[in-house]
A and B are shown apart, each in its own frame.
Chain A
Amino acid sequence: DTEVTQTPKHLVMGMTNKKSLKCEQHMGHRAMYWYKQKAKKPPELMFVYSYEKLSINESVPSRFSPECPNSSLLNLHLHALQPEDSALYLCASSQNTLAGSSYNEQFFGPGTRLTVL
């Protein structure tokens, strides 16, 4: 299995709702990523988990809460979002080569299109 899956494909939520995005991979990768992508823009890194521990948080607002319950799953919990948070949310995974010489090539999922009303 060489793919990253994301659910749901589309999500519409109000500003007071709580929802979660899910990401799953079965490639044995030990690094997982959340990106946010606005229309006509490149993806922006939000979080990186390495061996199920949060490794990078790019100063993301606390209304976004990531969780990595095991090596195959990555969740993004959403609460009290704003309309400007509407975007495509991409998950990615990579082998976690802790040695310094290798780059962690990332495999991307299809994304969740989020609309906040």
Chain B
Amino acid sequence: AQSVTQPDIHITVSEGASLELRCNYSYGATPYLFWYVQSPGQGLQLLLKYFSGDTLVQGIKGFEAEFKRSQSSFNLRKPSVHWSDAAEYFCAVGAAGGFKTIFGAGTRLFVKA
């Protein structure tokens, strides 16, 4: 069965510091992988996606993620965090030809001055 694990419920980083959010997935075939960000009371905004090709994916707002098939991971990174990055981050996997998206439990990012 498909699943997505985000091991960190919350993370606190200092403004200007680097960030890595972890995501591990379980899926039988090549997965379609996503990172979404959600500010309080808002909808989900797509940060980046991986379908195939280059395993290092660039997204919006200076985020990137690396697909590692051997580790079943798709970790999100940002070299320098801004206070406005404080939000909930969801990793997700989608099935080819299907409508279902499996979301991880989310990681809450806190940014301290």
Contacts from A to B (Cβ < 8 Å): 4, 6, 31, 33, 40-43, 45, 48, 50, 55-56, 88, 90, 94, 97-111, 113
What residue in chain B is nearest A110 (Cβ atoms)? B43
Residues of A near B49 (CB, < 8 A) are: 105
Q: Is B28 an interface residue (CB 8 A)?
A: no
- 19 residue pairs bridging A and B, Cβ less than 8 Å apart: A6-B43, A40-B106, A42-B90, A42-B104, A42-B105, A42-B106, A55-B99, A56-B99, A94-B99, A97-B97, A98-B97, A100-B97, A101-B97, A102-B97, A103-B98, A108-B36, A108-B43, A108-B44, A110-B43
With an 8 A cutoff between CB atoms, is B51 at the interface? yes
User: Which residues of B sit under 8 angstroms from A42, Cβ to Cβ?
Assistant: 90, 103-106
Known A-B contacts A41-B105, A42-B105, A103-B51; A88 and B99 likewise in contact (beta carbons under 8 Å): no
Q: How far is the CA of A95 from the CA of B45 in the complex (A)?
A: 17
Judge whether B41 and A88 touch: CB under 8 Å.
Answer: yes
With an 8 A cutoff between CB atoms, is B32 at the interface?
yes
Q: How far is the CB of B17 from chain A (nearest CB, A)?
A: 24
When A40-B106, A42-B103, A42-B105 are in contact, do A90 and B97 touch as well, CB less than 8 Å?
no
Shortest A106–chain B CB gap in Å is 6
| C-alpha spacing A42/B6, complex, angstroms | 11
A6 to chain B: closest residue by CB: B43
Q: Please provide the chain B residues from 93 to 112 with a CB less than 8 Å away from any CB of chain A in the complex.
A: 94-101, 103-106, 108
**Cβ–Cβ contact A109 & B43, under 8 A:** yes
CA distance A42 to B101 in the complex (A): 11
Contact pick for B101, options A45, A98, A102, A109, CB 8 Å:
A45
Establish whether residues B43 and A90, one from each chain, have CB atoms under 8 Å apart when the complex forms: yes
Would you call B70 an interface residue if the criterion is a C-beta within 8 Å of the partner chain's C-beta atoms? no
> What residues of chain B lie closer than 8 Å to A110, measured between beta carbons?
42-43
Chain A residues near B88 (CB, 8 Å)? 40
CA distance A88 to B106 in the complex (A): 16
The residue among A4, A41, A98, A113 with the most chain B CB atoms within 10 A of its own CB is: A41
